[in-house]
Structure 1
Amino acid sequence: MLNNRLVLILVTAMAPAVWGSTYLVTTEFLPPDRPLLAAAIRSLPPGLLLILITRQLPKGIWWWRALALGALNIGIFLALLFVAAYRLPGGVAATVMAIQPLIVAGLSTALLGERLTVRTAIAGIAGVVGVSLLVLRSNAHLDVIGVVAAVAGAVTMASGVVLSKRWTSPVPVLAMTGWQLTAGGLLLLPVTFLVEGAPPANLTITNLAAYAYLAIPGAAIAYALWFRGIRALSATSVTFLSLLSPVVATTLGWLVLGQSLSPLQGLGALIVLASMVVVQLRRAPAAKPAEGPQLSPARR
Structure 2
Amino acid sequence: MRPEDIEIANSLSQKLIEFAKKTHPLPGIAKPQAMESLVAQMVDSIRRVKYVETIRDKELSASCTDPNNPNYDPVKAAAYFRQNGNINEAHWQVFLAIHFGKNLKSGWRLAREVYRAEGNAHHWDWQHVSNDIEGFILWLRLNTARLKRIGSFGNHRKYQSLNADSNAGTGSTVRSYIGWIGDTKDHHDLVKNAVENGGNNPQALFDILYQGIDQVKGFGRMAKFDYLTMCGKLGIVDIEPGSAYMENATGPVTGGRLLFEGKKNGVLTEKELDDLLMSLQEKLQLRFGMQVLEDAICNWQKSPNTYIPFRG
The TM-score, its normalising length taken from structure 2, stands at: 0.25
Could you say which structure has the greater relative contact order, defined with CA pairs below 8 angstroms and 6 or more residues apart? 1
Greater fraction of residues in helix:
1
The TM-score, its normalising length taken from structure 1, stands at: 0.26
